[in-house]
Structure 1
């Protein structure tokens, strides 16, 4: 008899299928069967989850009714039963088809009564058998059968012995992996005398499913059975190793997490003692502010994701400050926060009239916008572009519009801007990244519908850092700016409610795609009367307050203001006038501070003392006593001016045309066109064609230090040449502007309003314009046109017919041909 060993507990109803090591007996003669007591049939005990191998001895719990009937029917002589496992462990009352056909014949050694009508039997497995036909199913199973003999391996089979040794080593390895096994068990397994029972022991205790165990039981060849068992053992050892590795890694990760948690809790306690966890306080503050925001679900989701990213960062990490600044930027933006527009149109008109004198077109456009907004309730804000000379109040108009609409006011200057990132912002991957100026100023305004002034939009540059004007295309397009994308923010922001007002001096330098997105409003220069009113109403009170002089202590009469405008300024706007008033008030402030006497009213004769000698002389018409001198009208960046075109002749054989006066290419081409027209129409003008062969022509435009260009002096040059070649007088107090073609057609030109104001300042009475410029005159206020008479022409012949008198000049040049 062998020492006590380990064996597996079986059951006819238990669902457990694990390796459970308990004490039992494995005897060398365990497979011996007393066939003399066997009958032709044998009672069958179905086992729910246990497969028994020959030589095994184990207890089996019996609880099902048929199983109890079988055990209680056993006598002292007939104690052999067939143990067969059922295919499905979930079936409580199996049928014959639910049972495997191959099992073991076992001897019931002992029956133990248990509580609750249950029994436990101790069995010793003998030999394998196969039931062939179930002859009885009630009160318990009885079947016919046949013994399944096992083909033994030869005693000198070295391969079989090697397989057994491998099984022994694998079993010992598995037991060591599962824990420290008993020394007695290790000694038994290693004992050579245990070799006969080794396969049965391992197959019985191996933690594999019943299907595989049944396959082992079905094998008739002892060597094949051992080989198959070894394969399963090696597989289970590999699986066990993987499980142990995974458990080890999981245990290590868990230990690291526990360590970090412990340290975090310690850190939290220390921080609370020092006044609280600064990082957590900041994050809680962020989330608290976020609840008050009116942003949509997408922004809220992005914000929460970024907050969680901040929570995972170490406060000492460089990325922490970047992430912190980004979240601050998102929170500072006024998502879906708008100020209530003021729809009181009379009040709006009153504010606009109070702050700006004139500008009827601009004021009318703003009032129209307010009216539509009042009726519709919601409207995409238009993009206005105020263009005109400097100093006419384009920028300051934005403040008045913001006050009239009850909106916030922001302004950015685009002059000299080269970097596209100034508009769209920098990506957060760059060090020191910040949002673009658009988003920065929206955050500064605190509302999503401010009046946003884009100053000097015509002075944007571009270089290797990008083209800012192209970046503005999205900003200034009402169809696109509802989802403006800032590179830093990476979230679309709605700019459709913002009222953008762009200002510019010269439209020619603005790219055409950008121009197409804006509604152009011309803010022209002021006439002298308007400048006087602006100075008296706005500039003088403002500068007196700036210089600390009480309003009742000093004043400048309108007559003196008129002289200041004409003799000390030359501009379309009032910026230079503002500087001259400030200069006067500084002298007055000095006199007040030093208790010197000063006049309460600045008289015209005092201007020289306060402003020095006059800087400019008023452009005046110079008469028509000379042939070839014609007055033209020109547009400049500071407004309109009158322009004198002079022509003279000198004898020569080359018929040379000389142009002077710092003229541009377009103006030179106009002079050449004029000369060719005079030559081709010499007969109509009464000019001998041979004159052109004997006289050289010189055209000069005075003030040669000032560059001049453009096509609008075309008819002026033709009139000048016609006058000098015919020696006829030019009509007095006449000025003209218009482009010419080679066939003599007069084309329209721009800057009409500024040119008209310049003509009026110079004392001009008659003005010749292209017929197509009539519409421009009709848009000008009638008060500006007072004292002027307009003559609209389509052809150069009409110009010359009106401009040239029949009367010759005094002392005409003799152009007779020799």
Structure 2
């Protein structure tokens, strides 16, 4: 057995006594204590007056909490604590105590109402020489685990508990902190305080923890058993009876008054005769139930409230003034002339039909007839805002129903009343919200509809959008026919391919194309810049953006068909200016040049595709269309020694792969006329690649650029870098028409390509282009692939071995 460390002589000191009721303090604990009794108040005052002891006192528990503190009623062992904070409230004090060490009272004295104690610190037994006791370490681990289990049973987060116990490394401190927060009797806590051996303290605390965990588990079992016996039904009835009693005390309406109120609202709603019969029957059922506490009565009340809130006869009067409508459309939108003309034609037809009606029935039929409009185009081109302008021009209410990602038929038709939490679909919910029978309802992002095992929402829309059927639309929740024939439905979509055929057949398409740079500039100047100045807390005179700066934003910081990214870029400039103005650095921000834009926004993260700077063999410029608008792409082809394989890379879809194989077959079949040496077709691999390899690509319109790139690579003749092309090809070399001409041409125009090759049958599509774009570009219309090759390829090969090949025939070409 090792020798104990020598002890120092304990220091005696006389301290005021703070008697504690129903609690025991431990060293290392900092806690607030409320002081209200006279003797404890005097003890605190004595400690605060003391100078030598630095506001210390002896905190010790009372044996009997009900008695007044006396020298006989105090335990002998307590803690020396320092007062760190004092706060008065009413007739008492709240003090913060920091407990420093255990101490024992040699004797207590009382004078002038203050109990004092002569104390000495209790020094723990010294550790034996050598390593830390393995028993103590094992006990400390067990105490930590049991403390976490007990705290979790009491509802504390496990992660917080583990962090708390893991941060305490000393076994003595571990016992002090856990025992202080554990719900023990005062005598049990005092016994832990008086025990000097760490092993014994840990062992006792472990026993307490096991016992309390068992008690908590038993309480949980008892509570679960009682809840099961009570039953959910009885509990709900009990709570509803309480609610009923509270409502009665507050003087609120009872069940009969609720039914009467619903009956009055339904009478005012003016339901059709067929629906009124069903509603009266359900209202009678509610009255016979006598009380509203049952779930069925609550469900029926909710259904009747929905029926009463729907606009069965409420409508807004149409006032179709075509001149006013033109003014509204021009004020709220720049460009889109074709769209505005089609909208005005649509409004004119409705006006003539209504004017020719002689009675209300004919007027209603005139309003219900007419196409459902589909606004089809890239994001940010004004589809939803044009629909809102139509509502403004007609004087109607406006409802927007977002269908993006909807995968449940109940989103359109609602849930059946028998389901818990059933609600009507989005169509009737929007009608109730605006309180009008004839609003303009925008079905936004109709091409983003999904389908799942809950049903197909696109199929549910067939009845909604069919003028021959929607006068009797039945929502599953409502269960009554509701007339939607007076609603003006406008649908928006980005892509035609995402709309099912039967649904698309019920709509008339109005195409929204991308804006030109001039149109973007005007939109930014007229609408976007003033709106961002206002939204960022600036006044009109505090931010000035010049035309060159706007053009820099359009060309270098955005690449889109619409103007959403442009508005975000303008907003970023406005925020930069707002910050400098708010910090009084400047009074007014003037962004006058592209350099100013770059200084504020940094380098552009947009890297738009640009035309090639020089002619090269095996590279052709194609055009493509995406939901974000049109752009150009470079098709690359190369020939290398091999086994005659044809390699296709660049995430190409099946249609583009087929176009590549057709182009290669045409080149091999007409090698002589295309100037391709015979030996280039034998023992060589051909590799076709479209850059941006991580982006999937597909479609037939890349046939012409693929064929030109292949012929250029095989013949060695360079392709003109100033020409972009599009068109589908056949094995016979015919060039077939394609779609999206306007968007593709605008994309090529933005990329700086001056000449465009299009299929001959697409010549009529040039009418859709703005006049300034048509004047700035040169168009070539081809019917055969040979014409495109003659326009695109230079006359002489770039490689000497091809030019000097004796077997290479003289090329021919048929130009338009």
The answer (yes or no) to whether the contact 1:348–1:404 under 8 Å persists in 2 is yes
Q: Deviations over 1:210-263 (max 9, x none)?
A: xxxxxxxxxxxxxxxxxxxxxxxxxxxxxxxxxxxxxxxxxxxxxxxxxxxxxx
The equivalences for 1:54-69 within 5 A come to none
Q: Does 1:289 align with 2:265?
A: yes
Equivalent residue, structure 1, for 2:278: 302
What is the CA–CA distance in structure 2 between the aligned matches of 1:271 and 1:359, rounded to whole Å? 59
1:803 is displaced (CA, Å) by 2.3
Q: Deviations over 1:140-163 (max 9, x none)?
A: xxxxxxxxxxxxxxxxxxxxxxxx
1:538 is displaced (CA, Å) by 1.1
Aligned counterpart for 1:619 among listed residues 609, 612, 623: 609
Distance 1:813 1:623, change over 3 A: farther
What is the CA–CA distance in structure 2 between the aligned matches of 1:643 and 1:812, rounded to whole Å? 30
Equivalent residue, structure 2, for 1:465: 454
> Relative to structure 2, which stretch is displaced further, 342-351 or 375-384?
375-384
Q: Does 1:280 align with 2:280?
A: no
Equivalent residue, structure 2, for 1:599: 589
Q: Deviations over 1:598-634 (max 9, x none)?
A: 5333432111222111223453321443112211111
What is the CA–CA distance in structure 2 between the aligned matches of 1:289 and 1:336, rounded to whole Å? 13
Equivalent residue, structure 2, for 1:341: 318
Distance 1:331 1:512, change over 3 A: same
What is the CA–CA distance in structure 2 between the aligned matches of 1:574 and 1:274, rounded to whole Å? 57
Equivalent residue, structure 1, for 2:69: none
What is the CA–CA distance in structure 2 between the aligned matches of 1:410 and 1:630, rounded to whole Å? 47
- Which secondary structure state, in structure 1, belongs to the residue aligned with residue 317 of structure 2? coil
What is the CA–CA distance in structure 1 between the aligned matches of 2:663 and 2:247, rounded to whole Å? 89
What is the CA–CA distance in structure 2 between the aligned matches of 1:764 and 1:472, rounded to whole Å? 43
What is the CA–CA distance in structure 2 between the aligned matches of 1:273 and 1:534, rounded to whole Å? 62
Q: Does 1:639 align with 2:615?
A: no
1:300 is displaced (CA, Å) by 2.2
Equivalent residue, structure 2, for 1:355: 332
Aligned counterpart for 1:312 among listed residues 259, 280, 288: 288
Aligned counterpart for 1:543 among listed residues 510, 529, 532: 532
Q: Does 1:387 align with 2:384?
A: no
Instruction: Give the superposed CA RMSD.
Output: 2.2
Aligned counterpart for 1:719 among listed residues 708, 711, 716: 708
The answer (yes or no) to whether the contact 2:560–2:628 under 8 Å persists in 1 is yes
Equivalent residue, structure 2, for 1:513: 502
What is the CA–CA distance in structure 2 between the aligned matches of 1:438 and 1:365, rounded to whole Å? 26
Equivalent residue, structure 2, for 1:176: none
Aligned counterpart for 1:332 among listed residues 290, 297, 309: 309
- Which secondary structure state, in structure 2, belongs to the residue aligned with residue 790 of structure 1? strand
Structure having the higher Rg: 1
What is the CA–CA distance in structure 2 between the aligned matches of 1:532 and 1:504, rounded to whole Å? 25
What is the CA–CA distance in structure 2 between the aligned matches of 1:668 and 1:715, rounded to whole Å? 13
The equivalences for 1:334-733 within 5 A come to 334-377=311-354, 378-380=366-368, 381-597=370-586, 599-652=589-642, 654-733=643-722
What is the CA–CA distance in structure 2 between the aligned matches of 1:809 and 1:537, rounded to whole Å? 51
1:447 is displaced (CA, Å) by 0.7
What is the CA–CA distance in structure 1 between the aligned matches of 2:381 and 2:523, rounded to whole Å? 10
Q: Deviations over 1:466-507 (max 9, x none)?
A: 111111111111111111110111111111111111111121
What is the CA–CA distance in structure 1 between the aligned matches of 2:594 and 2:571, rounded to whole Å? 17
- Which secondary structure state, in structure 1, belongs to the residue aligned with residue 682 of structure 2? helix
What is the CA–CA distance in structure 1 between the aligned matches of 2:706 and 2:256, rounded to whole Å? 80
The answer (yes or no) to whether the contact 1:624–1:729 under 8 Å persists in 2 is no
1:557 is displaced (CA, Å) by 1.5
1:681 is displaced (CA, Å) by 0.6
Aligned counterpart for 2:795 among listed residues 794, 799, 806: 806
- Which secondary structure state, in structure 2, belongs to the residue aligned with residue 321 of structure 1? helix
1:456 is displaced (CA, Å) by 1.1
1:728 is displaced (CA, Å) by 2.5
User: Runs of at least 4 residues of structure 1 off by over 4 A?
Assistant: 270-277, 810-815
The answer (yes or no) to whether the contact 2:549–2:591 under 8 Å persists in 1 is no
What is the CA–CA distance in structure 1 between the aligned matches of 2:584 and 2:756, rounded to whole Å? 53
Equivalent residue, structure 1, for 2:745: 756
TM-score, L = length of structure 1: 0.65
Q: Deviations over 1:69-100 (max 9, x none)?
A: xxxxxxxxxxxxxxxxxxxxxxxxxxxxxxxx
